Copies of this chain bind each other. A is one copy, B any other.
Amino acid sequence: MTLFTCPLPLRDYPHIVMAHGGGGKLSADLVEHLILPALAGQNANALGDSTVLPPMEGRIAISTDSYVVRPIFFPGGSIGELAINGTINDLAMSGANPLYLTAAFILEEGLPLSTLAEVLRRMGEAAIRANIRIVAGDTKVVGKGQADGLYINTAGIGELPPGIHIGPTQAQIGDVVIVSGTMGDHGMAIMSVREGLEFETTIESDCSPLHTLVHAMLFATNNPTAIHVLRDPTRGGLAASLHEIARSSKLGITLTESAIPITEQVQSICELLGLDPLHVANEGKLVAIVDKDHASQILEAMHQHPLGRNAAIIGTVTDRNRGFLTARTPIGGTRIIPMPMGEQLPRIC
């Protein structure tokens, strides 16, 4: 009886069909032959409905994000890298060391299996690069026209070292605002592909995991509490992140506009399209609010890290204009940077 079943190999279905989400033989094939080899590495049996992890000593940080970016592939990355790095960054912004991810897929009927395979390959490689383990997963299939290719959700958990208390309410008057690099690259990379804009050189997304940069910043001084707030300015850009901090801490934030690093290319395309680069999404940058006495040490440590080479001090936390974000313009005036109402660029992540 052991030769009784005659399993259809996966290649007989070059596209996702509804049955891939039905919990039967085809679902099992998809998980076993496509998803597990790409995502679970040597731990292929461990990717079940639920997984048991060893105890963790410290406080636990937990985070979730769905990824709906369009197009699925773009210069500098894809929805796969984004789904790994984006959730790692959410964890890293609490100061946690990201350890485990779950991965859940919503697939549209008709999606080429080759597209899914490429996204999975990139996810697996991004997870290995960031040294994080994918430990549980789920796959659902919806009919044609009920999704746009594929959507990915990842949830992450990480361990928080003792003594770290990072959060938007921790900002203090006199604190210094640092960004880790140029603003707006991810959003403009997506935008230029989507709109078919061509430039002399391709704008690449900055999609990267930031946890090692955060680690370097935390250990730059002998005082881990010198870092008060960390944010990755994704949707809504730097403006939305700093607005939320100003609002939560009930303090004002003043930027020096000329100090904000923006590449010439992003600056020109923003001018062309009438966008404010401070409202454009980043996927591999952070903004930090740090104690002024430790700012130069932290900035120095950032400059030593590949993801912080262009880090710069761009502003301060003040007791003026509480709850607002303002900028000193190059000609000496002060402008209010508004909180964006909606999105300039839908489905950016």
Contacts and interface: CB of A to CB of B under 8 A. Distances in A.
Interface of A: 1-2, 4-5, 17-28, 49-68, 90-91, 93-94, 96, 100, 102-106, 135-138, 140-143, 145-148, 151, 153, 155, 157, 160, 234-237, 240, 244, 281, 321-324, 336, 339-344, 346-347
B19 A342 contact: yes
B26 A100 contact: no
Given A27-B235, A63-B102, 13 more contacts: A2-B323, A4-B336, A17-B342, A22-B235, A23-B281, A62-B100, A62-B102, A62-B136, A64-B153, A104-B153, A104-B155, A136-B155, A153-B155
A66 B140 contact: yes
Given A91-B50, A93-B49, A342-B25, A324 B1 contact: yes
A113 B223 CA distance: 46
Nearest to A321: B1
Contacts of A140: 66-68, 151, 347
Contacts of A142: 68, 148, 151, 346-347
Nearest to A60: B53
Contact of A157 (B94, B104, B105, B157): B157
